[in-house]
Amino acid sequence: METEPIDLELAGTCVNTLGNAIGMPQLCDAWFANQIFWLLVALAAIYLILTRVALPRVGAVLAERSGTISNDLAAAEDLRRQAADAERSYEQALADARAEGQRISDEARATIRADLDAAIAEADEKIAARTAESEAQIAEIRDNATVSVAEVARDVTGDIVTALGGRPDQAAIDTAVDARVKGN
């Protein structure tokens, strides 16, 4: 297969007679004008595509993101403020509940104290009444015991005098027992 020789004048100095490039075609100075033209055309096309299509879309996305971020920040600030208000309300409600609990506790203590004081007073009255009743019974028992002791002493004294062979004088026995019972 033979190829036809090419016109070197048209191809320039960068190709051989068979049409093969000599060296790197990008560095061929005969083709610089052509390469620069197509570079400028490509850059203009890229510029037009970027400015008319891509950059407006990117700008729209950035604007949307910026708007979303600023809306989210504003919503977050509003929620933070609401949370702070809710916390203050909670703390106030908690303080009110504690105060109410303290008031109820104080009222309950006062009621219990009053009931306890009344019960103590009633118990003191009952104890005083029973003590007086007991003292009266003890006094009665003491008086009865004294009388009984005196009678027993008289009977025993009379029996002793009789057992010793004498004749008991009841008046003398009564006087001696009465004196001894009275502590003389």
Structure confidence by residue, pLDDT tens digits, 9-60: 555 677 777 767 777 777 777 778 888 999 999 999 999 999 999 899 999 9
State pLDDT tens for residues 78-135. Answer: 999 999 999 999 999 999 999 999 999 999 999 999 999 999 999 999 999 999 999 9
CA distance to 121, 125, 148, per residue, from 133 (Å): 18, 12, 22
The pLDDT of residue 178: 80
CA atoms of 71 and 82, how far apart (whole Å): 16
Spatial separation of the C-alpha atoms in residues 163 and 165, rounded to whole Å: 5
Please report, for residues 79, 84, 91, 100, 119, the alpha-carbon distance to residue 87 in angstroms, rounded to integers and kept in the order given: 12, 5, 6, 20, 47
Q: What single DSSP character describes residue 50?
A: I
pTM above 0.95, yes or no: no
Where exactly are the structural domains of the chain? 8-138
